[in-house]
Structure 1
Amino acid sequence: MVATVALETGDSGNRHRFQLELEFVQCLAILAQRGYFKDKAFVNYLKYLLYWKDPEYAKYLKYPQCLHMLELLQYEHFRKELVNAQCAKFIDEQQILHWQHYSRKRMRLQQALAEQQQQNNTSGK
């Protein structure tokens, strides 16, 4: 795919395309309200972008949960529901809750690790 060529050859045109597609895959949220999901060519493009699920490409994603959204966007019913502001807001709120939970969990794990290291340093002396 494009990413392999862009990263291995350093071809600036392919690298630019890779970066554009990377950004696009991560920014799928607002498209329903703009009417993009009614365009058959655009829906086909969403299907094409599923290659980002391959670990070779997914490792570049800053927000890997976008892959789940990309998967859901393959379903016409889901695309139609996103036009509803309440539905889009609910998804947004759920995403925020997920991030908050992840952040808190990560902080607790880091604190526990720091405490364990401190105990190891103290008991080792």
Structure 2
Amino acid sequence: MKHKYAESDGTTRHVWDVERIWKLAEDLEPFEIHIEEIRGLDSVTWFYNGDEPTVRSVSRHAGRILNADTSLPPILTEDFRVFDGMHRIARHLMEGTSRILVKKFSTNPEPDLIEKL
């Protein structure tokens, strides 16, 4: 899995292949939400497992945010977490956008990997 999304409950880690999520989300109908409904906006997202927010790593993410194609709706989990599109969401936040189009699963697809922690 090149691009992945993971959630952990402290004992188990669920991992999804984001490229598979893109395919599964193709037929989901985009709809508008208030950007503040998205969970994780105030969580550490890109820096974990020893990846420190250095100037270089922050600038790498800043570049991705500035180049993000906001015409593509982010893909959300059943509970409004972000499977794919956090850089696009960050750009919307920087631009002061309050409402955005998203695609959302009503039930999350089965994860590609389940690991015991």
Q: What is the TM-score of this pair, normalised by structure 2? A: 0.26
Task: Report which of the two has the higher share of strand.
Answer: 2
Q: What is the TM-score of this pair, normalised by structure 1? A: 0.25
Task: Report which of the two has the higher share of helix.
Answer: 1
